[in-house]
Chains A and B, each alone.
Chain A
Amino acid sequence: MRKLFSFIIMIGLFTFSSFSNAETSQEKGFRIAAKSDRMDNGFGTSIAKLTMTLTNSAGDSTKRELEIKTKEKPNENVGDKSVTFFFTPPDVEGTALLSHSKILDSDDQWLYLPELARVKRISSSNKSGPFVGSEFAFEDLTAAELGKYSYEWLEDTTLDGLKVDKIKQIPLYQRSGYTYLIAYIDKDINQLRKIEFFNRGGAHFKTLTQSEFKNYGGTIYRPMVQQMDNHLTGKSTTLRVEVYEFGIELNENEFKSSALSQL
């Protein structure tokens, strides 16, 4: 009996040590994604002025100018808060969207409609829905939260001459529009270069390409161009950063629904 007991202990120790020595592909996937995500920690606040170009399959395009104010939450288990303000097209000028993003639940969202001067809390149970008619879903715009996915490292590969890690990300949010994502993170500055999105039917239907990375001090990088191509519809949306500002004093109160009419 005593021998059997020590045998079990030994088996246990052996198993434990083998786990601690060799990293599983899940752990490796998480580690690389976490490194990429945490490089961004401490940006605090940012204001981005963006131009969004929406192009349909016939090649017709339309532009929107918007500004996104973001306040980072230091805790990885709490989502960031953001306000998106639209300058054009002129019929929606002054419209604003406030989001309190949640990691695994539906976000809290409010819309400000300038025509009625009305603030309206809207249902956001569809994170997979399109963001203002674009190819970006709401969940794509808050995709950087680490806790939203489980990870699996697939392989080392190259992308446009860059050495990258290829990682499979499975959304933990039940009503995500995706079964999984394939992310490509470069080994040089640890940034997300490309994401392939697989829909509920398992088909690769969208691709996000991020380019023209710019350093904003320390380990904080931002892509100046994000392009989302929809392979099913032939439509695409390009988000181009015009101006990025960091470390601006943004009061917590600016991210309250009762402040939305005061922007």
Chain B
Amino acid sequence: MKMNLNPLRLASFKIIVLFAMISSSALASDFSFTPSVTTEFRYFPESPAYDGQLEYFQPSIYFSGEGRWISKDRKKRLQFEPFLRVDVQDDERSHFDIRELNYSQRFSNFDLLIGNAQIFWGVAESRNVVDVINQFDEVENSDETDKLGQPLIRFGKFTDIGRFEVYYLPYFRERTFPGVDGRQRAPLTVDLDNAEYDEGREGWAGDFALRYQHQIDQFDIGIHVFTGTARAPFLKSNGEGTSHIPIYQKLTQGGVDIQRTWDAWLLKLEVVIADQSGDNFTSNVFGLEYTFFDFSNSGIDIGILFEGLYDNRDENKTASTLFENDIFVGARFTWNDFQESELLFGAIIDWKTGSMFSSIEYERRIGENMKFEVEAQYFLAEDSEPLAQFERDSNLTLKLTRYY
């Protein structure tokens, strides 16, 4: 078993655990921490496409937990979520992150949030083009759902015409990528030690964002602007052509996200207009969701999802995307039972090339303290398409989580 955990990161993990223990004793019953351990087993039925990639089985284990403390007057809150994965095969996937360690307080006229946080913006299911605050933890899963904790300070204010938020993001976090052993990567690995930055945007350059949210009857509306370092890097081959150098570019963008909730229909729209390293482009998602409640008296709710994706960026200049001209179709089955069983199916298809990424996920609770999840991913693409590099990486993943 290969392990390459950064000792500095492990030290900070110990400090945080210590901090959590001190706070839990000092704050007595008000602080709660629920640790969890997940055993994960990934199986790739096909042999790998590139040298060095693991064959067939990728077992791993991860430790996480949810901690929170709330003051008696309910105005102060501390949140804590550490994450440590140990992967037997890919040492880039063995990593530690502080998903959340933040303090927030509501004052009479405004509220503040300080620390490492997870912030979600958006309304769509397949891709959230407006969701710019956190970096993706790409080594976790290629589906852009896992995010690294982002250090930030947020000032928020409710007014009669909606909520305003100002974000200062002091430190930039680089994207994680699978190592040479990992599946779901390009033929060349990403050289994480030699990342380059445009216009000195490295490290503590600092990003800013403004966010406005409001609800009017059936409409939930969000508007944002962001200026700082793009989360998605432009990947450039190094001199020898042996690896990719990630280049983090300057990004300025504005966007809106709107959902109309009308009867059993949800109508969704996310639009972003961006300037990334001189390339002007727009990224869009338009979506519909309809739910058949208690389908044919079965007690099961079935949601049908349809989304259209469009992105016209110039991939010679800026970070590439797999979602240029795509449609997403999906279905969600919710059993409404004790175990909260849920099945989610989705496929993203490029309507120009026919490339497809599809997945099916099922989860249910076992007893009171365990959860079982299974996910199958399937890739299909023409050899000339970017997605073709994942084509041998269709897989089945089983996860069992125990909460303490």
- Residue B56 interfacial (CB < 8 Å): no
Q: B265–A123 contact, CB under 8 A?
A: yes
In Å, the complex CA distance between A68 and B162 comes to 24
Stretch of B183-191, B237-245, B256-264, B318-326 on the interface side: B256-264
Q: Hey, which chain A residues are within 8 Å of B220, CB to CB?
A: 121, 257
Which residue in B32, B66, B120, B266 is a CB contact (below 8 Å) of A121? B266
In Å, the complex CA distance between A255 and B214 comes to 13
Stretch of B20-28, B170-178, B332-340 on the interface side: B332-340
How many pairs of residues, A versus B, come closer than 8 Å at their CB atoms? 99
13 contacts between A and B (CB under 8 A): A62-B338, A89-B403, A90-B34, A94-B68, A117-B120, A123-B266, A126-B293, A133-B337, A258-B215, A259-B163, A261-B120, A262-B104, A263-B77
Which residue in A56, A91, A256, A261 is a CB contact (below 8 Å) of B371? A91
B127, chain A: closest CB distance, angstroms: 14
Q: B336–A119 contact, CB under 8 A?
A: no
Given contacts A54-B338, A106-B263, contact A90 B77 (CB under 8 A): no
CB proximity to A under 8 Å, residues B355-402: 365, 367-369, 371, 401
B107-145 CB contact bits vs A (8 Å, 1 = yes)?
A: 000010100011110110000000000000000000001
- Residue A75 interfacial (CB < 8 Å): no
- Residue A92 interfacial (CB < 8 Å): yes
- Residue A163 interfacial (CB < 8 Å): no
A116-139 CB contact bits vs B (8 Å, 1 = yes)?
A: 111111110110111011000000
Q: Hey, which chain A residues are within 8 Å of B301, CB to CB?
A: 126, 129
B263, chain A: closest CB distance, angstroms: 5
Given contacts A93-B66, A121-B220, contact A130 B368 (CB under 8 A): no
Q: Hey, which chain B residues are within 8 Å of A123, CB to CB?
A: 261, 263-266, 291
In Å, the complex CA distance between A133 and B158 comes to 34
- In this complex, the member of A63, A256, A258 whose beta carbon has the largest number of chain B beta carbons within 10 angstroms is A258
- Residue A253 interfacial (CB < 8 Å): yes
Q: A62–B368 contact, CB under 8 A?
A: yes
Q: B34–A256 contact, CB under 8 A?
A: no
Q: A258–B120 contact, CB under 8 A?
A: no
Q: B403–A90 contact, CB under 8 A?
A: yes
Given contacts A63-B368, A106-B263, A262-B77, contact A125 B336 (CB under 8 A): no
Q: Hey, which chain B residues are within 8 Å of A234, CB to CB?
A: none
In Å, the complex CA distance between A263 and B365 comes to 25
Q: B259–A121 contact, CB under 8 A?
A: yes
- Residue A114 interfacial (CB < 8 Å): yes
Which residue in A89, A93, A256 is a CB contact (below 8 Å) of B215? A256
Which residue in A56, A108, A114 is a CB contact (below 8 Å) of B66? A114
Q: A125–B293 contact, CB under 8 A?
A: yes
CB proximity to A under 8 Å, residues B219-257: 220
In Å, the complex CA distance between A145 and B220 comes to 26
Q: A94–B66 contact, CB under 8 A?
A: yes
In Å, the complex CA distance between A27 and B219 comes to 39
Q: Hey, which chain B residues are within 8 Å of A106, CB to CB?
A: 263
In Å, the complex CA distance between A63 and B338 comes to 10
| Size range of the chain A interface in the assembly | 35 or more
- Residue A142 interfacial (CB < 8 Å): no
Given contacts A121-B220, A123-B261, contact A92 B338 (CB under 8 A): no
Q: Hey, which chain B residues are within 8 Å of A179, CB to CB?
A: none
A140, chain B: closest CB distance, angstroms: 15
- Residue B294 interfacial (CB < 8 Å): yes
Q: A89–B368 contact, CB under 8 A?
A: yes
Q: A129–B293 contact, CB under 8 A?
A: yes
- Residue B39 interfacial (CB < 8 Å): no
Q: A253–B158 contact, CB under 8 A?
A: yes
- Residue A150 interfacial (CB < 8 Å): no
Q: Hey, which chain B residues are within 8 Å of A261, CB to CB?
A: 120
CB proximity to A under 8 Å, residues B62-80: 66, 68, 77
- In this complex, the member of B214, B215, B401 whose beta carbon has the largest number of chain A beta carbons within 10 angstroms is B215
Q: Hey, which chain B residues are within 8 Å of A128, CB to CB?
A: 293-294
A252, chain B: closest CB distance, angstroms: 9
In Å, the complex CA distance between A251 and B294 comes to 36
- Residue B282 interfacial (CB < 8 Å): no
Q: Hey, which chain B residues are within 8 Å of A116, CB to CB?
A: 118, 120, 145
In Å, the complex CA distance between A87 and B368 comes to 12
Q: A56–B365 contact, CB under 8 A?
A: no
- Residue A25 interfacial (CB < 8 Å): no
In Å, the complex CA distance between A129 and B337 comes to 12
If A126-B294, A258-B158 are given as contacts, then 20 extra A-B residue pairs at C-beta distance below 8 Å, sorted by A number, are: A62-B367, A89-B368, A90-B36, A91-B401, A93-B66, A108-B215, A116-B120, A119-B120, A120-B123, A121-B123, A121-B261, A123-B265, A128-B294, A129-B336, A130-B299, A253-B158, A257-B220, A258-B163, A258-B214, A261-B120
